[in-house]
Amino acid sequence: MQNVLKWEPTNDTNQLSQSHFLTLGSFTTNDIHYLLDEASKLKKYQKEGIPHPYLKGKVLAMLFEKSSTRTRVSFEVGMLQLGGNAMFLSSNDIQLGRGESPTDTSKVLSRYVDGMMIRTYGHEILEEFADQASVPIINGLTDLHHPAQVLADLLTIKEKKGNLKGLKLCYLGDASNNMCHSLIEGAVLVGTNISIACPDNYQPDKLILENARKIAKKTGAVIQIGTSPQEMITNADVVVTDVWTSMGQEEEMEERLATLAPYQVNKALCKHAKHDFIFLHCLPAHREEEVTAEILDGPHSVVLDEAENRLHAQKAVLKALMGS
């Protein structure tokens, strides 16, 4: 008899080592693999059209100080598919935008909702919410970290390559941004080697790098940082980049474009990667700046699968933290 995929309801409480989802570096290797396995299972349910209302009756408040396409839609759709509801709150919609403290906002919203997803600028704001909240806090993005995106990246790499441990991931461009920081943490946790090509004045955060090196000693992952994009990308299984000018950095645009130009992901540079490399970008992308259209839209690009996997990876986080 053919096996039929069926939703398996569960009353399990949070099986993660943390009650909030703030940074990947605070989790264990087992945590990350648990979330990736959950994401794969939830993706199968969604693809087969099987309802999976793990969060029936639950409400997620989504607080946005930074605008978004993928983050808002994926979290909102994710909550609906899990049987719950999501509430969009911009800084203009609530008193936080008029001077109310994160502490007071966090305490009050904790009385109303079952979880909060926050997309903001300063990471310290997210930490203040988490310190005061009595419900799970999920990082939708801060200037320092973007763990939800990187969890989706790891899911995509695992789907395309079959495994994570021992692969080589190369990140090129501004290594001081949130994507690179979370990629470093996520890669070393699952045993993926990471090489970073960046100018000297665009290096990763020292504390994040120090913590990642400690994790790498346990998992066997290797971290390399250099200024030569050709050297760092050599034999890479996965190539990743991000925009060179993020929100709030518009005044630096001309300087950034000039400094980072040698790190553009293009056909000539990618000849140094493995012949079957895959290309990832969190989007939105600036074609012909950090990446050429030939690569972004080419056969090695998996950016649309990567974008879709935001939905499935975040559903795993929501279920793990808000399910009961």
Active-site residue, 282 included: yes
Residue 2 annotated as binding?
no
Active-site residue, 119 included: yes
Residue 148 annotated as binding?
yes
Residue 310 annotated as binding?
yes
Q: How would you classify residue 141: left for phi > 0, otherwise alpha for psi between -120 and 50, otherwise beta? A: left
Residue 20 annotated as binding?
no
Q: Which residues pair with 301 in a beta bridge?
A: 279
Catalytically annotated residue among 52, 72, 119, 123: 119
* Closest-CA residue to 25 (of 202, 149, 248, 181): 181
Catalytically annotated residue among 20, 242, 264, 270: 242
Catalytically annotated residue among 46, 81, 132, 149: 149
Residue 87 annotated as binding?
no
Q: How many other C-beta atoms are found inside a 10 Å radius of the C-beta of residue 213?
A: 13
Residue 95 annotated as binding?
yes
Active-site residue, 264 included: no
Residue 81 annotated as binding?
no
Residue 146 annotated as binding?
yes
Catalytically annotated residue among 52, 310, 312, 314: 310
Residue 111 annotated as binding?
no
Residue 52 annotated as binding?
no
Active-site residue, 146 included: yes
Full DSSP string of 81-148: HTT-EEEEEETTTSGGGGT--HHHHHHHHHTT-SEEEEE-S-HHHHHHHHHH-SS-EEEEE-SS--HH
Rounded Cα distance between 164 and 154, Å, is 8
Residue 170 annotated as binding?
no
Catalytically annotated residue among 72, 123, 146, 312: 146
Active-site residue, 143 included: no
Cβ-count burial 75-97 (b if 16+ within 10 Å, e if not): bbbbbebbebbbbebbeeeeebe
* Closest-CA residue to 221 (of 29, 23, 26): 29
Residue 242 annotated as binding?
yes
Q: For residue 134, how far is the Cα from the chain centroid?
A: 24
Catalytically annotated residue among 282, 300, 312, 314: 282
Residue 109 annotated as binding?
no
Residues placed in the known binding site for carbamoyl phosphate: 68-71, 95, 119, 146-149, 282-283, 310
Residues annotated catalytic, as ranges: 119, 146, 149, 242, 282, 310
Residues placed in the known binding site for L-ornithine: 178, 242, 246-247
Residues placed in the known binding site: 68-71, 95, 119, 146-149, 178, 242, 246-247, 282-283, 310
